[in-house]
Amino acid sequence: MNLQIKDASVAQIPLIQELTEQIWRPTYESILTPEQISYMLDMMYSTTSLTRQISEQGHRFILLYDEARPIGFAAYSTTDTDGIQKLHKIYLHSDYQGKRVGKFFMEAVIDRVKAAGAHTLELDVNRHNKARLFYERQGFTILKEKDTHIGNGYEMNDYVMRKAL
């Protein structure tokens, strides 16, 4: 493997959307209804939504490649609390899971947020998502439970997790 990380901009939105179709839907199909998945994909990964995240909300997107093949993406941003950054998204193609690539990608995010002055990284994870175990292995701990109404009668039932950097 020859892993490389590149910053993403609005120009990479089609690639982020392509990766989302390959990774996001299979990740959630066992814990969310098809209707909620479609609703959330439109809410969070439409061109309009991704453009707003990058251009207006200050989300920094990075892409992970193995050679020339894009295999994952992540997004993070500052929060209203000094020193705490939020990891909004980190997704890795299933072909690369369980091979320490996720750990490599998470460490790259951590390096970037530490360089920006963060002392804590926070994330939300669905309470039924097996990724919680990955986050725990990376040193994150559950801070609290959080239920977020996202419209159309849907809720996100998450754990808020934190890691001191």
Residues of the chain with pLDDT under 50: none
Q: What is the pLDDT of residues 50-66, one digit of tens each?
A: 999 999 999 999 999 99
Q: Which tens digits make up the pLDDT trace of 110-136?
A: 999 999 999 999 999 999 999 999 999
Question: Would you state the pLDDT for residue 25?
Answer: 85
- The CA distance from 55 to 143, in Å, is 30
Range of the domain at 153: 3-164
Check which CATH number belongs to the domain holding 155 and give it: 3.40.630.30
Count of domains forming the chain = 1
Give the predicted TM-score (pTM) of the model: 0.94
- The pLDDT assigned to 7 comes to 97
Give whole-number Cα distances, 128 to 29, 32, 60, 132, 163, in Å. 11, 10, 26, 8, 20
